[in-house]
């Protein structure tokens, strides 16, 4: 409600500079989210600097990680498409907070920016991703969501979680899966945006997700290709999973 009011005021030019500053700071600092855990508030700032996800989405990472540990669910933590590592930084910091250091964290990414989209990869407004990708393409990487492997390693290592339990998998998931796989997955975040990569991740990683484990499709609500990949995979495999709304883009569910 407050977010909607904020958008209306800003859109119509009714807000002063003071209001604008307060509004955006309130979103960052959680003043509009009084229910957030104090432990989360202490950890969120450094993570928010290294992720494009919303505070609601990051809070889901925190709460699902806590739930997995508190309920003694087995399995590792996996994200495909990590950018600067902010979401898995939250996983690592939460595990460390709970004095758990034996879970493995898998980070799958090109570490060279976004992979090339196809004709299926359009957003909710039917705007094609191919031109944006082309405009950002360089000789050795794509500027869209680019973060080099060394930068991501530095961010993850700064959490203090054991380095030996962080597995960085460089390359397109279509090439790296199923070559490098965890044995079991407790939390699976698919955040590579496109149809082909999302479908490939589900084919090779969803079977490893434990019963009751968390699945998050970060762009189900924004990129039509990601949504189609999930819907197609679920239909082909008769998976009846209720996907709940985390924020406008992300959807989550627990494996039946």
Top-confidence residue, 164 or 31: 164
Same domain, 108 and 82: yes
pLDDT mean over 68-97: 98
Q: What pTM was estimated for this model as a whole?
A: 0.86
**What does the DSSP assignment read for 219-237?**
TTTTBHHHHHHHHHHHHHT
Same domain, 24 and 61: no
Top-confidence residue, 155 or 10: 155
Top-confidence residue, 222 or 104: 104
Same domain, 72 and 130: yes
Sign of CA dihedral 184, 186, 192, 194: positive
Top-confidence residue, 188 or 20: 188
How high is the pLDDT of residue 144? 64
Same domain, 198 and 102: yes
pLDDT digits (tens, 9 = 90+) for 21-56: 655 555 555 566 788 999 999 999 999 999 999 999
- What whole-number percentage of the chain has pLDDT above 90? 71
Using only the alpha carbons of the chain, give its radius of gyration.
18
Instruction: Find where tokens 């079977």 sit.
Output: 207
The token pair that represents 139 in the structure block? 């000789």
Residue 209 has pLDDT above 70, yes or no: yes
Same domain, 175 and 235: yes
Instruction: Find where tokens 């690592």 sit.
Output: 92
End-to-end CA distance of the chain: 33
pLDDT digits (tens, 9 = 90+) for 99-134: 999 999 999 999 988 877 878 877 888 787 767 766
What's the Cα-to-Cα distance from 141 to each of 64, 108, 203, rounded to whole Å?
Answer: 33, 16, 27
Pick from 203, 205, 197, 215: nearest CA to 121: 197
Same domain, 106 and 216: yes
How high is the pLDDT of residue 99? 98
Look up the domain containing 153 and give its range.
Answer: 38-254
Split into its structural domains, the chain has a count of 2
| Domain of residue 116, CATH code | 3.40.50.150
The token pair that represents 29 in the structure block? 């600092």
The token pair that represents 103 in the structure block? 């879970």
Residue 1 has pLDDT above 80, yes or no: no
Same domain, 51 and 19: no
């Amino acid at each position: 409600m407050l977010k909607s009011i904020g958008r209306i005021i800003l859109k119509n030019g009714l807000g002063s500079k003071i209001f604008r500053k307060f509004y955006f700071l309130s979103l960052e600092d959680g003043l509009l989210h009084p229910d957030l855990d104090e432990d989360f508030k202490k950890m969120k700032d450094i993570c928010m600097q290294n992720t494009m996800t919303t505070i609601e989405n990051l809070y889901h990472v925190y709460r699902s990680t806590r739930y997995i540990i508190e309920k003694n669910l087995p399995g590792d933590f996996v994200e495909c498409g990590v950018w600067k590592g902010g979401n898995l930084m939250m996983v690592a910091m939460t595990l460390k907070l709970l004095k758990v250091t034996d879970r493995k964290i898998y980070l799958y990414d090109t570490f060279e920016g976004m992979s090339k989209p196809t004709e299926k990869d359009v957003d909710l407004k039917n705007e094609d991703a191919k031109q944006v990708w082309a405009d950002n393409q360089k000789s050795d990487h794509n500027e869209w969501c680019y973060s080099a492997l060394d930068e991501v390693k530095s961010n993850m290592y700064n959490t203090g979680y054991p380095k030996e339990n962080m597995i960085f998998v460089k390359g397109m998931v279509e090439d790296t899966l199923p070559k490098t796989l965890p044995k079991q997955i407790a939390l699976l975040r698919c955040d590579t945006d496109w149809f082909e990569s999302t479908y490939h991740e589900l084919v090779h990683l969803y079977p490893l997700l434990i019963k009751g484990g968390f699945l998050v499709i970060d762009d189900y609500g924004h990129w039509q290709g990601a949504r189609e990949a999930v819907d197609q995979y679920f239909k082909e495999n008769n998976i009846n999973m209720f996907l709940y709304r985390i924020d406008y883009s992300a959807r989550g569910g627990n494996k039946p």
